[in-house]
Each structure stands twice: as structure tokens, then as C-alpha cells.
Structure 1
């Protein structure tokens, strides 16, 4: 435990002042704070106004105002829609002024009330009607202050298990986002995210684990997106210090300032006092008494909310359930699969699932149940698994039971990362790629001004790169949209798929292998460890050759083997790992073969290979092994490969770039890797030569883990070599501790 302040979600470790800061000149007599309470159920608009007299004289003033229609004149195109453009319409209602006397230095709270009487149109996601309230402080001589506050005429309430907007049940479906980089401050990017939510049929958003720039809440008001507003108490960062008494004072002040800042936004439906605060106890492992004390402190924090905002009963600690029934809303985060059994048995209050799915952590074996081999083979295939999962969760959990549902980050995982200003896939992007503003930074100008936006930092393109769309939807987006609309789609059904058992191995035929190479070298040691017995018989039916290190005497042996190969009916395996094929061997082969600069962490089996047919795609996945070296450091190419039969080929995707990396990096790396032009990644190939078969492998046999050990044992068994089980060693492995941020939520009750 480290910090006593609300540290917020990840923003790429930005420090210092990185958003606009303003210094205002204010009058001595002024409005310091105003809270508009739209009591729709009793047809009353109530405004709490704090006023101050900082002059040295007694002041008797009049406080009143009027509400005028706020008309959004922004355009409809990507370029026009995010721009601020509005006018005020007719005066909808007038608030009669009241007289207030203020002593020098005195502050007073004044409550204004007026009946609405159908003079205000209701705010809702479908009709985001807005008004501007102008509060005026004046006397007979002068006007001291005018305070403009935008608001909406609407009311949110809880009723049993339902969430009500203007007296009618409404279900919220939205999105969350871990923010990365300063570009999140742009109104354009805020608009793009909220527009994407509307496009899939959503109506809500939770600005994740910190107070976001005001433009997000302003746009939510204007676009009709309901906001679950959340503090910067980010529990799953595992950095909050719950032991320090001053921490809870800071947390309360932080929560108060958030509510005071945002409570006039009609889009804000409620307050989340934190995100996954249970994680502090889960991973710091205090005593039960201490953990209970921390829970009590969280509840005390939530209990403070009505004092600052009595108009919203929607109060949660997102992901922490309802803290033994003490919070008015039950909230949980779920990983992949349908978790109906983890919903509370007693359903007597609104329930929300604020994060759902394996989007940010799911590895191919966890997603196999939804889409089979596809999550191993490509980023798109992984997304198809996410699509199947989100469809059934919307249809079978969200719609029947929940007041609020959000998949985990549609904006990062339901859309493809964009190659802004980059398209030469023969090379990696560099500092010259991306979109450049083309204009000098203007000091003193408010708002976001970018110098360069690199490729792949975002999934949104709000007019930044004219060659690209606003976003590129993936299957997860399409499935979510279809599920919310009760429409069929390609991913609308779920039948659990299980990783198949590999085919039965052939009976062993060859008891010994003739080895050509240094019998004290690394390859010889690897073969012995796998259970291979070496023979002194040069006419053995299986010959394995160290293709990287071959002496003159050994070269003569190999030449003799190749000379008789057409008639002898042998299996000849040439193995390399990292150095390429010894040039002395090449003239003896029936066709040219070369090594390429290609690495890989997984293979696909060759479609026409008998040997490859004994392997499933999951069995050829080495992206999570405990090794600093990849399973492939060089590929094979040339006529030998073209004329032969591919046994294993490098996977087109590298999941080691995704696993255990943050959202902004993992998706970008994998998408870019798939698109890059790569040299041949053939890892093993067979070539017929008369009655014999010559095989060449560039698989890195120096990698020693339990997964690679199992692979080699199976491969040699497929070659019908009888392995000495007494010598077989399983390789190295280590236990990895669960990480909430990288391995997903904990689903236990």
C-alpha cells in the first residue's frame, strides 16, 4: 500500500499540469455554487444557491433568474459534430427574485423554487433537451454577477430492482475505458467514443476510475448518454493506502469535489465511490478484522453522498457487490462466460455488471470454448470468441436481470486499432509516421492541441486521418449491437467447445537413432533428455543431424547417408535452432533451402502433413511459456520448402505481445504484427527422396519448458521413434501469481 490520495486509472504516467487551468477574476458579490434539483415527480425545479459578499459593506441584493432553451447547432459530420456550436432559445420559465441581505464577508445558502407546469421538455437519451439557467445578483444600482448553469429536466430513481428515468424503467448498457495518453482530453475523441456507444445501441458510460475531462460529461449531456460518475479510487491498481487515517479524509474530499463538479450534469445517473476496492484486501491479505474495518470505511464514504446530492439514489462501489447489503445498488465485475450463479440469490435491489468478458485478459485456451481454434489463429478470431460471449451475456443476463450492463471496454477490444498516418507494412512505424497538426502550439489557447498522434495509439479517428473511418468495428461490436436489438448474427449461439484430445500416436518402430553431430553438444543433450537412444549403426532407419555444427568426419557420414537415401527408406531429420544451416550441408540436399529472419511463439500444423496432423493448434501454442527465447528464431524458405510438405508454419499472430500487457499496448502490438510483411516462417518441412524422407526443422530446441518437452516427445513419437521413458524429462515451469489487471476479475462469491 502506497498512496493516501485517489490516484486514478492509468494515463501513461503523465505528471504535472496536463489539462487546462484557468484563473478567474470574480466580483466581490457573487454566486459561488449552485445546485439544480429537477424534482420531476413533484413538478418542481429547486435550486440551492450559495452566495458570498466579500465587500466591506452590507449588501441587500435580489437573486433570481430565468431558464432558456439550449439549442445545439453542431453539425452531423465527423468534422462538425464534435465542435461547440450553440444558441439560446426562448425563455422557458422565470424564477422570481428573492431579497437577501449579506453582511461583509458573509456566505449564505438560498433555495429557489418554482413549479414547472410543462414548460420544460424532459431530458432522456432519445431527447437530450437542455436548458441554460442564468442566475442574477443585482440591486437597484447594478448587476453584480450572472451565473450560467446548463441543466436538464429529468429525474433518476430506484424502485425495487428497477432503475427509473422520469418514472419509467430504463436499462443502461454502456462502455468503460482505461484512459491512455493526453489525447483523451480532446473533445473530438470524447465525441467519437460516445458516438460509438450510440452506434451499438448503448445509452450509458462509466468514465473509468477517475474524474475525466469535463468535455466527456458535457458531450454526454448533449448526446443523451447516461453517466455513472466514478472517483479516482482505483482499487485494482493495488496502490491505495487504506491504513493511513488521512487517506480516508482525502478520499472524502475527493468524492465531494467530484460530486460538486458534476452534479448539475443531467447525464449523471449516480455515483461510484471507487473501482474494485476489494482488491486492496484481496492482495494485501490483512486480517478479517482489518478487512472489515476497510469495508466499513467504504460504506461510510458512500453514506456521505446524499449530503452532497440527495437527487440520485444510484450509489455503488463498482465491482464490490453491495458490501453486505449496505449499498443501494449491487455491483460486480465478471470474467468470461455466463455467471448467472454469481448473481445474488435475493434480488431486491438494482444489479449492475460494470465489466464483463475476457476482453483484456483472455488467453486462447480460455476463449476456446466460444470459437474453437480461432482465438489461437488470429486477432479477428479472438474477437469472434468475445462476440459469442457478449451476445449470450446480453441476452441471458443483462436484459432479464440487470439495471446496468457494460462489456469490458468495447472501445479497446470491439474496434480495431487504427494505423493513423501509416501504411508501409514492410517496416515498423517510426517517428515520421502518424498524423501531424501542421500548426504551431498557441500559448494561452484553451483546449487540446496535438503536435503528433502516432499510429495505433487509438481505435478512434474523429477526422484526424481522412483516409480512415471513424472506427473499424470487430465481431464483438457487431454481436453487442445485434444482441441489444434482438437480432440474429454470426455469433448469436453458444455451444461449449472443448480442446480436443490429440490423435492417438502410431506404434513405435525405431528403437534407436543414428546421430550425426557433437555427442556432447546441446542438440545431443536435448535428444537424450527427450528419451532418444543413440545407435552406433550407421544404417539405422532414423538419422538425426546437427544442421548447425558438423565436422569433416560427420560431413562424410552425412554424405554417405544422403547417397543411399533414395533406396534405403530412411527418415533423415536435420535440426537447427538459432544459427542457420551449416553451408557444408547445403550442396548435399536435393533442393536449395535457406533460413530467414523470422521469430514466432506459436505454429499452425501443415494442412497436407501427416506428421502435422497429429498436433492440435493448442498443442502448438508457446506464447506463454517460461522462456526468454521464442520457440522459433529462424524460418525456412527456398525450393526445398516450395517442393516439400510443410509440417509446421509460424502463426500469423504473436500472442506474447498481447498477454500481460496494458490495453493500449497489447492490441496495438498484435494488430500491427499481423499486418507487417514477414519473411517465411516455415518451421519444419519434409521432402521425399526416393524411399526416404528428409525433414528439416528450425524449431528452437534450446527452449526448455514443460510445454516444449511435451511437444518434442510427441513429435518423435509421431516419427515412430521408441522413446526411453526413464530418460524423458518434463522441462521447467513456474507458478505465476494472479494479477487482477492482467489476469481478469475474481469470480468467487
Structure 2
């Protein structure tokens, strides 16, 4: 093949998912499927954001459920790349779709993975299906603008409360209307936002909620010189074309005098628990209040097996620490920040990957005759620091070994799949994870807290897309807002070790080829963006642009992504700062001649040979580079190339999969329930089976997983032989540009 682009495209679209599975067609392992595979539990266990201890003062109604949808066509006269999106025409009373959409769900969710037409006689028969909602009409996958609508009522006991709308994430430019009034606008596809709608709701009857959405790509601004540029917003990876309400929606009731933000800071080296509390008084009078706080044990009561462990069950235990009482005067309409501190004096247990001890801080706002508010914040007693070239947890050196994952399809919104991924990481001896290239759903950070995985938290500035337009001021404005919102969402998570302000941003200059002085301006702005994290979170030293080294010494860690081969000479010497290799290996791009030095002719013969070559590469990198020298190391990616893809709900290998295959929902659809309620999980979209198909294990290891497990466990991996085969010359010019392999 002339270059690697077609190979990479085929791999990313899913051909890699199927090579091993299709082998069964010709190897005689045909198993007839006699009945539909049905899963009788929640596909995505979830809970609301208001916990029972807050309920007397705060409340919520989950607005997930069946919504009306109206797709709006992009005018034929609109020109792309202008930076000006087409106007979103008002919804028409007779144009609502006959089929309801199940929120949370992107309108085009069935094309998240680019397999929407699988099983319908298309040109891509070997791409896994991405149809999670078979009830949705096919034309929804082409939607670029639209309206979503539902009605709601205000509970009678909310009479004295303020009413907020809360969206966990809406993909696309978003405008919110309540009862004919525009109340909010949002342009960030991955992070939560709220609107106070108290003045717009009808407390005695029905209320109409309208959400208008426009594809973010409609806002692209082309550049006259740098032709690859376009996006003036953080794109993320594999989600920049999604449209609609793809995460939970809530209606909140909150008191007029309340806590609006809490930041718990664990300063172990000072023996100090510091809490920043933001208070707001929206009542008509001055308020004299006292702020009380107690720290209680958070006890996980979930089960231990793969079905019950991801299901949420917890309680609060004994009071471990009491915070000092603070008196505050809040004027009418005033917002004020209060700081309270306490010395734990060994009363709190450390959070570590091996002992993920958690606590909940309950803060109450008390008046003379009543309690106004109660706010709960979960946290862990731990401290991450950089000391010289060491990364430290609780005063001791720690090395982070983990995995990354691109959000390739809608299964990522399920807590079950998140749990399975994390369990796999722990099984090979890892203790870290980077939910890659964008903020992921909140569940990933909650589970990392609970399971003991250290998280490198990353923005949606995905430089590898090459699309970011760094010449537009609005790009930088949105990027700063995006990083701030990410930190404000996640800074109380004890699992979060630091902030990655972007991924492989060097690629934009590399492929757009600006003048050096232009690239230098971009670099200056990237450094400024990254270091701005300290403004919102002074507790974490780990700040990086993952894969972009240390930006000429200006960032506190050195981070690079390595290709195949052991390249110890590429590690800098004497930097006196932690060294990070956030991605390593030829998983995505490696052609047989590149992998030949690891396994010889086997690299040409089968996927098994390729997989063994990848494993040998990662094994020697762990043993000879990661363990001796690095503070953080991750291959790219164990969850896709270290495991077989799962034939969930598909066992008749005498035919290709179709829309009758997969694992289907066995529970009736429920209104007002947090979490995704998929209709179907297709086969081969993932390498994990979190108990959905009883005929399959949790995962099936390939050589890379086994190599990592041996390397991190201190043992030897039997297939590893340090034989360096001579490098073969590249293949001659191809006769055929595409080849398909079935069977062995």
C-alpha cells in the first residue's frame, strides 16, 4: 500500500475487531445460536447527584426518558468553513418525529463507531455494528441540527426552593428554552452546565423544555494558509460529530441560602485538611449563618463479582473528623468564599491504589431557627507531589503504570464497561489510567476513586486530530474555559493525579508547517493554558501536554509518546523532573516490515504474529525503560490490542453478524432513571464482557496483556526472546490497494 493511511483508517473503523472472530468461519468452530441473548439487569447502573443526606434540603428529578425530536436541515446555501454556523430555525409544530428519542442518547448515536449500516447490505460488512438503539430511524445518523423537547412539572414540596436545570453533557452548540424563554447557552460537548430557571417555571402546571443543538463542526473556521485547521473548540476524539443530549439531565431544587461550591484539599505534609466553601445568599434578607462540617467514612457495599461490583451500593459510616464551626454574614445577593481547616492528626486513613479509603464531608448551613442547606463532597486523604525527578504519593515514590482508551462507541457510557476496563488494568498489575483525549463521563472518575486507579485527567484538546485552529482567538478562549470547567468538575477526586491540557499538540505544527515564529506563539499560548490549571487547583503539581515533552523546560514533567522499539537514548538526562511515556508501541500503525525485527516472518503470517510482536515490544519497554526510569508509563492501548474483541450475543459463525445479534435489554424502559438504557450492545464493539453474555469470560488476553502481567509482576514472559531480526526493506509497490483476510 502506498502509505499507512488506508491501513489506519481500516483499523480505526473496525477491521481489527474481526480478524480473529472470522477465523471461526473456516476453522470449524461453528456454534449455532438458538435464542436471543438478553441481559436482565441494568446495562449502565447509575445514581443521581443528590445523596440521601442532602435530601431534606436539596432534591432532584431526573429528566432522562422519552423526548420529542425534530431534525432541522442545514440550508443548501450555507458554506462550510466560514466560522458562522447556519441559524437554527424554530421548531415546527407538525415536524416532530414519530419515534421518541431515549435521553441520554446522541441523536446520531447509532453512527458512533461508524457502523450504523451494518447488517443492512452495505459496503462495510466487516465493520462492527454501532446500532445501540434499533428503534431509531436510520436518517437520524445524518442529523446536524435539531430540537429536543419534553414537558415537566415542579413537585409541590419545592415551593420554597430555587429550580435549576443541570445537563451532564450536550454534544454540539446548545441553547435551552423554558416556556418560551431562552435561559442558557452552552458550547462544550463534554462537561456539565446549569441554568437557574426559577423565574421561568410554572409551579402549578406543565412546563415546556426545549433544547436546540447544532453540530460543532458547523462552526469550523478554515484558515487560508493552514489548510488542515478548522475547529475553534476542543474537539475530543471520536465524539466531535455527535449531536444531542448524550449524558444525564436533572432538575434540581436548592435552597436560596446555600453552598454553591466545595473544594477539599488534603495537605498531608502540613497535617491540614483545608476546605474552600463558596456560599450564596439569594434570599431577600441578610443572613447570619454558621457553617458546620463532619467527615464520615464512605463505605462501599457493592458486591464482589462482575455483575454486582459495578452496581452502586454504599453507606456513610462513623464520623472520623469534625470541622471547626465558622460564623458567616451573607448580605442579600452576596456570594462569599470561606476557608475552614482542621488537623486530622492520624484520624483519616490514606487513599492509595491498594487501599482506596474514601470519606464524605457533610457541610451544613445553619441559621438561628433552621438548617438552610447540606452539601456532601466525597474525597480521599492523600497528597500527590513532585520531588525532583520523583512522583510521590503520601510522601513516598510511586510509579504509574496504566492504559489509555479512545471513546470509540456508545458502550463507554456504561459503568459496567468502565468497571471491566479498570479491573483488566489491575489484573495486569497496573494502577493508573488516562481516559483519553477528552473529559469522559463522571462515572470513570468515581470508579477510579473506589477501585484505586490514579487518573491523568485530560481535556478535549486533541492535537492528533490536526483540526484545531490555533490562529483564532476564540479557540484559546474556549480552551481556557474548557480546562477550568474540567478542573472544577474533577478536582475533589482523590484518584486524579494531575491535568493534561491536551494531547499531541505538536502534531498541529508538524503537519501544518507554520514558520518557526508562528509555532513559537502557539507554544507560548499552550504553556500559558497548561500552567493556568494552578489557578483552580494548587494541590496538583502534575501538569502536562501529553506527548509534547516539557515545552522547552517550561512544564513540570517531561512527556513523550514513543513509537515501536526500545529507544532509551530518547530519554533526556539530568532534567530533575519526572519522565512520562504516555503512549508506546506500534499498535495503530505497525506494518509487517516494521514489526519484523521482533518476530521475523511471523509478522507477515497472521494477526497472532503481529500481536506477539507488539507484546515483545511492550515487554522490553516495561522491563528496560518504564520500571527503571519512568514516573508514568502506558502502552497504546492494552484494552484494544491486548485483548480479543468480544462476539457479544453472536455465536453462529456460519454467517456474518446482523442486527439480530448482540445482547438485548431484558428490562423494560424506565422514565426518569439515571444512566444509559441501551436497547442493544452489538458484537465486536468492545473487548470486554462485563457479565452480559454468560458464554464468554470478562476478557480474553492476547500476548500484550500476558507480557505486561509478567513484566509488572516481576516474572519472565515465556515467549519473549531478545532476537533482533534484520530489518526488512519496505514492500514493493502494491498490485492491490486493499486486501481482506478471512480465517487463518
Which bin holds the TM-score, normalised by the shorter protein?
0.5 to 0.7
Q: Are residue 53 (structure 1) and residue 281 (structure 2) matched? A: yes
Aligned pair partner of 2:637 in 395, 398, 409: 409
Structure 2 distance, partners of 1:259, 1:12, is 21
Aligned pair partner of 2:435 in 207, 211, 219: 207
Q: Are residue 340 (structure 1) and residue 561 (structure 2) matched? A: no
Secondary structure at the residue paired with 1:158? strand
- Which digits, 9 at most, give the CA deviation of each residue in 1:657-715, with x for residues without a partner? xxxxxxxxxxxxxxxx437xxxxxxxxxxxxxxxxxxxxxxxxxxxxxxxxxxxxxxxx
Matched with 2:166 is none
- Structure 1 residue 293: deviation in Å? 0.1
- Structure 1 residue 290: deviation in Å? 0.6
Q: 1:629 to 1:202 in 2, by over 3 A?
A: closer
Residue pair 1:44, 1:115 contacting (<8 A) in 2 also? yes
- Which digits, 9 at most, give the CA deviation of each residue in 1:408-435, with x for residues without a partner? 1100000000101112222111111111
Structure 2 distance, partners of 1:500, 1:106, is 71
Aligned pair partner of 1:387 in 592, 615, 636: 615
Matches within 5 A, 1:729-744: none
TM-score, length-normalised on structure 2? 0.68
Secondary structure at the residue paired with 2:326? strand
Matches within 5 A, 1:130-529: 130-498=358-726
- Structure 1 residue 341: deviation in Å? 1.2
Residue pair 1:330, 1:349 contacting (<8 A) in 2 also? yes
Structure 2 distance, partners of 1:92, 1:46, is 15
* Structure 1 residue runs of 4 or more that deviate by more than 4 Å after TM superposition: none
Structure 1 distance, partners of 2:743, 2:489, is 44
The answer for unaligned runs of 5 or more in structure 1 is 502-617, 631-652, 655-672, 676-749
Structure 1 distance, partners of 2:321, 2:720, is 49
Q: 1:273 to 1:446 in 2, by over 3 A?
A: same
- Structure 1 residue 137: deviation in Å? 0.5
Residue pair 1:30, 1:145 contacting (<8 A) in 2 also? yes
Structure 2 distance, partners of 1:280, 1:235, is 6
- Structure 1 residue 80: deviation in Å? 0.7
Q: Are residue 103 (structure 1) and residue 331 (structure 2) matched? A: yes
User: 122-131 vs 140-149, which deviates more?
Assistant: 140-149
Matched with 1:557 is none
Structure 1 distance, partners of 2:695, 2:366, is 54
- Structure 1 residue 493: deviation in Å? 3.3
Secondary structure at the residue paired with 1:116? coil
Structure 2 distance, partners of 1:353, 1:379, is 26
Q: Are residue 115 (structure 1) and residue 224 (structure 2) matched? A: no
TM-score, length-normalised on structure 1? 0.68
Residue pair 1:388, 1:479 contacting (<8 A) in 2 also? yes
Q: 1:80 to 1:172 in 2, by over 3 A?
A: same
Secondary structure at the residue paired with 2:704? helix
Matched with 2:300 is 72
Structure 2 distance, partners of 1:264, 1:230, is 15
Residue pair 2:277, 2:337 contacting (<8 A) in 1 also? yes
Q: 1:629 to 1:469 in 2, by over 3 A?
A: closer
Structure 2 distance, partners of 1:500, 1:79, is 48
Q: 1:179 to 1:152 in 2, by over 3 A?
A: same
- Structure 1 residue 205: deviation in Å? 0.3
Structure 1 distance, partners of 2:672, 2:734, is 52
Structure 2 distance, partners of 1:341, 1:414, is 27
- Structure 1 residue 62: deviation in Å? 0.6
Structure 2 distance, partners of 1:31, 1:625, is 66
- Which digits, 9 at most, give the CA deviation of each residue in 1:24-53, with x for residues without a partner? 121111111100000011111000000100
User: 292-301 vs 344-353, which deviates more?
Assistant: 344-353
- Structure 1 residue 626: deviation in Å? 6.2
Residue pair 2:596, 2:728 contacting (<8 A) in 1 also? no
Structure 2 distance, partners of 1:302, 1:316, is 7
Secondary structure at the residue paired with 1:272? strand
- Which digits, 9 at most, give the CA deviation of each residue in 1:186-232, with x for residues without a partner? 00000001100000000000010100000000000000000000000
- Structure 1 residue 133: deviation in Å? 0.5
Matched with 2:214 is none
Matched with 1:86 is 314
Secondary structure at the residue paired with 1:33? strand
Residue pair 2:593, 2:728 contacting (<8 A) in 1 also? no
Q: Compare CA radii of gyration and give the structure with the larger one.
A: 1
Structure 2 distance, partners of 1:428, 1:135, is 57
Q: Which structure has more RCO (C-alpha within 8 Å, separation ≥ 6)?
A: 2
Secondary structure at the residue paired with 2:252? coil
The answer for unaligned runs of 5 or more in structure 2 is 1-228
Matched with 2:114 is none
Matches within 5 A, 1:643-662: 654=741
- Structure 1 residue 12: deviation in Å? 8.1
- Structure 1 residue 500: deviation in Å? 6.9
Structure 1 distance, partners of 2:452, 2:327, is 37
Residue pair 1:12, 1:180 contacting (<8 A) in 2 also? no
- Structure 1 residue 438: deviation in Å? 2.8
Secondary structure at the residue paired with 1:297? helix
Residue pair 1:61, 1:100 contacting (<8 A) in 2 also? yes
Structure 2 distance, partners of 1:44, 1:430, is 59
Residue pair 2:461, 2:501 contacting (<8 A) in 1 also? yes
User: 66-75 vs 338-347, which deviates more?
Assistant: 338-347
Secondary structure at the residue paired with 2:620? helix
Aligned pair partner of 1:34 in 257, 262, 284: 262
- Structure 1 residue 22: deviation in Å? 1.7
Secondary structure at the residue paired with 1:254? helix
Structure 2 distance, partners of 1:447, 1:379, is 37
Number of equivalent positions: 516
- Structure 1 residue 440: deviation in Å? 3.5
Structure 2 distance, partners of 1:235, 1:316, is 13
Residue pair 1:18, 1:182 contacting (<8 A) in 2 also? no
Q: 1:429 to 1:60 in 2, by over 3 A?
A: same
Matched with 1:743 is none
Secondary structure at the residue paired with 1:397? helix
Structure 2 distance, partners of 1:53, 1:178, is 42
Structure 1 distance, partners of 2:735, 2:573, is 41
Structure 2 distance, partners of 1:50, 1:242, is 34
Residue pair 2:594, 2:727 contacting (<8 A) in 1 also? no
- Structure 1 residue 344: deviation in Å? 1.4
Matched with 1:611 is none
- Structure 1 residue 628: deviation in Å? 5.0
Matched with 1:625 is 734
Matched with 2:743 is 674
